[in-house]
Amino acid sequence: MSEQPKVRTTEGVVQGRRRQGHAVFRGIPYAQPPVGALRFAAPAPPHRWEGTRQAVEFGPVAPLSLPIDVPPQGGDWLTLNVGTPDPGAAGLPVLVWIPVGGYLSAASSDPMYDPAALAEAGVVVVTINCRVGAEGFAFLDDVPPNRGFLDQIAALEWVQHNIAAFGGDPGRVTVGGVSAGAGSVAALLTMKSARGLFRRAIAHSVPGLYSTPALARQVTAAFADRLGATAPTAEALRDIDPWRLAAELTSFNAGLHAHRESWGRLTEAGTALCPVVDGEVLPETPWPALTGARASGTELLVGHTRDEFRYFSVVSGRYGTFTEEDAHAALKLHAPQPDGARAYRAAFPQAGPEELVETVYSDALFRMPSQKLAEANTAAGGTSHLFELCWTAPALGGILGACHSLDVPLAFGTLNSPVGTQLIGEEPTPDAIALSRELREAWVRFVTTGDAGWPAHRPGEHLTRVLDTESKTLPYPEHASRQIWEGHSPAPFDLP
């Protein structure tokens, strides 16, 4: 067997391993561990090393603020992984994937993001770890805000400096993500410090999770008080164990409903500490920045699933239980003001409480932010290829519908990953395999050429690729919701 692959990066030599016809390098630091004096600080450049560094194991994940059992890991959170068809190649397209969920987790080691199928198609795939939860997004008085975004920028800078050594083209970098990862992509489109670091963007299920400084300051102060900290500062929190901090945030998030009168829409988001429109790191939200020509458009592949909210209603045990009171509350909190609630009832006159709740949550949390990002990017001079996934997940008797995150294992070709089997089943059907191939080929074509394979979104046409057993390009399917949201961009959470 041939010698294991080695690559010289700007910090030193890394040795990976060959796997399924491609080379993988894991756990490469793109910044120093953000612990000790560097905790809550902006990412610092990585240290150099002598000799050869083994790059065969994933780096530790940042502390997760999710109700799942993950053992505490080391503090070297700011690492990335590279899967490449051939380190000796040149000019290959590059996909940098940001695996952030809810701004609460970021695990590049998730088998759902296995690069094998994309590498086989000729794409260099980079997956990154970055700070999330309180480490990445607590709005502290004495350190930079949105540190998770700063980590992502540091990773993209590393890619610019190093990816050619892995066979990639630094001029053909696509940044991508789903859910909060897609929100990260949308934010990067507006950030001056990210300009020139990527050429294209993929955003699946873009959320509108941003806070104003006034709200973020109040929420962070309440969280710090819960911890017994003297102030909402890095100095006051620095000695608290990171995994304890993550666990406390999990509990804090679980009790958000108690603050509905004080914190409004944020209490329905599931995460108290989300990105802050601070005016410096993140100057403004993506939609007005793009439509107002304060950010430049790019080549964008963006879309959402038909039944975005279904996954959350099923997992929480609420599916099938929503009442008229729930529908009233959902419309009051999430329909665009002042007439959105009336408009939803007029547009969906036959809808019961269950359908109204699912529609308004799907729209407000993911569908409208995604669709409006396509419009805004087009208005800014970019090209936007829009899709909606309408294929029903076979698992659980089809109850999940075309739910949130179903598109990701399809695109990566990781149908047998834990998430893939949870949604698609132990034995992927021929329809699942065919749709996975179609979406993956669209990704490969897009990162290579900037064309996803169907007409770009244009004002007045709103053409959309509807992904299903038989995919078609049609006018935007959620036309009624789009009309309700006409003239309304997703607004940052604010004090009521």
> What pLDDT is stored for residue 268 in this prediction?
87
pLDDT in tens, 302-328: 999 999 999 999 999 999 999 999 999
CA separation for the pair 193, 212 (Å, rounded): 21
pLDDT at res. 71: 74
- Counting other chains too, the contacts that 394-398 makes at CB distance below 8 Å and 24 or more residues apart are 394/424, 394/425, 394/429, 394/432, 395/421, 395/422, 395/423, 395/424, 395/425, 396/314
At residue 66, the pLDDT reads 77
Q: Say what percent of the chain tops pLDDT 90.
A: 94
Residues with catalytic function? 179, 308, 404
Radius of gyration of the chain (CA): 22
Count Cβ neighbours within 10 Å for each residue of 72-83 and write b for 16 or more, e otherwise. Answer: ebebbbbbbbbb
pLDDT digits (tens, 9 = 90+) for 367-398: 999 999 999 999 999 999 999 999 999 999 99
Give the per-residue pLDDT at 68: 63
The CATH number of domain 6-212+275-313+366-480 is 3.20.130.10: no
365 has pLDDT over 50: yes
State mean pLDDT over 444-464: 95
Average pLDDT, whole number, for the chain?
95
Q: Which of 18-32, 70-84, 195-209 has the lowest mean pLDDT?
A: 70-84
174 contacts 201 by C-beta, under 8 angstroms: yes
| Whole-number Cα distances in Å, 284 to 175, 269, 281 | 20, 19, 9
- Structure confidence by residue, pLDDT tens digits, 254-310: 999 999 899 999 998 889 999 999 999 999 999 999 999 999 999 999 999 999 999
**Token pair belonging to 154:** 């540091």
Other residues' Cβ atoms within 10 Å of the Cβ of residue 236: 17
Could you report the per-residue pLDDT of 58-70, keeping only the tens digit for each?
999 999 887 666 7
Confidence (pTM):
0.97
- 232 backbone dihedrals φ, ψ, rounded to 5°: -80, 70
- The model's confidence at residue 74, banded by pLDDT at 50, 70 and 90, is confident
Tokens 């790059």 belong to residue: 55
The whole-number pLDDT of residue 1 equals 39
- Per-residue pLDDT at 2: 57
